Amino acid sequence: MTFLPVQLDAITGTEPAPDEEVAGELSLWYRWRHSPSAIVGSLISAAVIVIAIVSLVWTPYNPLAINMAATFARPSAQHLFGTDQYGRDVLSRLMSGTDVTLYAGVVSVLAAGAIGIPAGLYAAQRGGVPGQLVLRLADLVYAFPALLVAVVLATDFGGSTLTVMGAVALAFVPVFARVTRSGALGVLSLEYVSAARACGVSRMRILRRHVLPNIAPLLITQMTVLLSVAVLADAALTYLGLGAPPPAASWGLMLEEAQRYMGTDPLLSVWPAVTIALCVLGFNLLGDGLRDVFDPRRHDRS
């Protein structure tokens, strides 16, 4: 990832020398160890991912199983986090909610990237009127926050996980387009890219070989940060009833149901609240940490 002003491989189109690559990897690892955000963020994110995977095959109880004999149970050895108004195990529901949230988040971020990144590359490469048009379109989409899109989609098709994913993905497209474009413009203005172009390397090949690898760290960081935003948006939208309807075990829905029993059992609201905050914190810190790791100059400043 080191950034030499003149790169021979730019002209010849060969891979960079292996030893140079190793040096880059080593210093990435070094910077990771020295960034508290990266360490804490990786740990929380890893825990979230593991829990999501485990919940696919095992949860302590069936998250949907109703047991009217054991409603509002306090935390105990049988039910670590207690049970809710239908006697459903809160821990199991939180675990299966992790899976749904993560799935929705990852899909919407990837879908947004699949549209936004090519759009940004096109705008950077093309410039002129078509490039401006892409930017204006991005501004236009940006004026519709995920919540509004979800509201419109829910009016048309009803609330579902698909509604949430579509809304969040659409809201992220302009973010990807903007970040990709500004990153790509930086790379395209470098001398070795001009040199490559002078050698007759095609536009597609320049984008693939020079621009994309150079802006990949930027995009990965952006994806991590957006994943935390997606978790947040997912919680808010399911809370408002724009996501999958009950009895689905989503964090937002759990919070919405728990709020009704706040007088009886305030703990019931606290669990999903803390889970949402922890998950957002984890991905956010990971994003910050990746920024430290990939871009040490910025790290010095902030």
Partner 1 sequence: MLLIATLAVASLIVFLVLAVLPGKPAEVILGTQATPGAVRELTDKLGLDKPIWRQYVDWVGGLLSGRLGTSYISGQPIASELGSALEVTGPLVGLGLLVGIVIAVPLGTFSAVRSRRASGVVASVLNQIGIAVPSFVLGILLIIVAGVELHLLPTGGFTGWSDPASALRSLVLPGVALGVVEGAIVGRYVRTAVLDVLSSDYLRTARAKGLTQGRALVRHGLRNVAVPVLTVLGLELAGLVVGAVVVENVFTLPGMGTLLLQSVENRDLIVVEDIVLLVAAVVLVVNFGVDVLYHSLDPRIAREL
| One of 244, 280, 286, 290 touching partner 1 (CB under 8 A) | 280
Residue with tokens 């239908």: 86
| One of 6, 22, 30, 157 touching partner 1 (CB under 8 A) | 157
| One of 109, 154, 168, 219 touching partner 1 (CB under 8 A) | 154
Residues 140 and 100 sit within 8 Å (Cβ to Cβ) = no
Q: Give every CB contact of residue 19 below 8 A, 6+ residues apart in sequence.
A: none
| One of 5, 128, 156, 198 touching partner 1 (CB under 8 A) | 156
Using rule CB under 8 A, residue 285 touches partner 1: yes
Q: Closer to partner 1 by CB, 113 or 289: give it.
A: 289
7 Cα distance to chain centroid: 32
Cα(214)–Cα(206) distance, integer angstroms = 11
Interface with partner 1 by CB under 8 A: which range of 18-26, 103-111, 200-208, 278-286?
Answer: 278-286
Q: Closer to partner 1 by CB, 69 or 143: give it.
A: 143
Residues 226 and 178 sit within 8 Å (Cβ to Cβ) = no
Please work out, in degrees rounded to the nearest 5, the angle formed at the alpha carbon of residue 99 by the alpha carbons of 178 and 239.
Answer: 75
Using rule CB under 8 A, residue 211 touches partner 1: no
Q: Closer to partner 1 by CB, 136 or 205: give it.
A: 136
Angle of helix 212-239 relative to helix 90-126, nearest 10 degrees, comes to: 140
Q: Which positions from 219 to 248 touch partner 1 by CB under 8 A, shown as an x/- string?
A: ---------x---x--xx--xxxx------
Tell me whether residue 165 is exposed, middle or buried, using C-beta atoms within 10 angstroms of its C-beta: 0 to 12, 13 to 18, 19 or more. buried
Residues 31 and 49 sit within 8 Å (Cβ to Cβ) = no
Residue (of 233, 129, 134) closest to 176 by Cα position: 134
Phi, psi (degrees; rounded to nearest 5) at 204: -60, -45
Q: Which positions from 10 to 49 touch partner 1 by CB under 8 A, shown as an x/- string?
A: ----------------------------------------
Q: How many helices (H) and strands (E) does the chain have?
A: 13, 0
Q: Smallest gap, in angstroms, from Cβ of residue 125 to partner 1?
A: 21
Q: Closer to partner 1 by CB, 78 or 155: give it.
A: 155
- Tokens matching residue 156: 């048309």
| One of 143, 198, 200, 297 touching partner 1 (CB under 8 A) | 143
Residue with tokens 């006697």: 87
| One of 144, 162, 197, 217 touching partner 1 (CB under 8 A) | 144
Using CB under 8 A as the binding criterion, the count of chain residues that bind partner 1 stands at 41
Give the binding site for partner 1 (CB under 8 A): 136, 139-140, 142-145, 147-148, 151-152, 154-157, 228, 232, 235-236, 239-242, 255, 259, 262-263, 266, 269-270, 273, 276-278, 280-281, 284-285, 288, 301-302
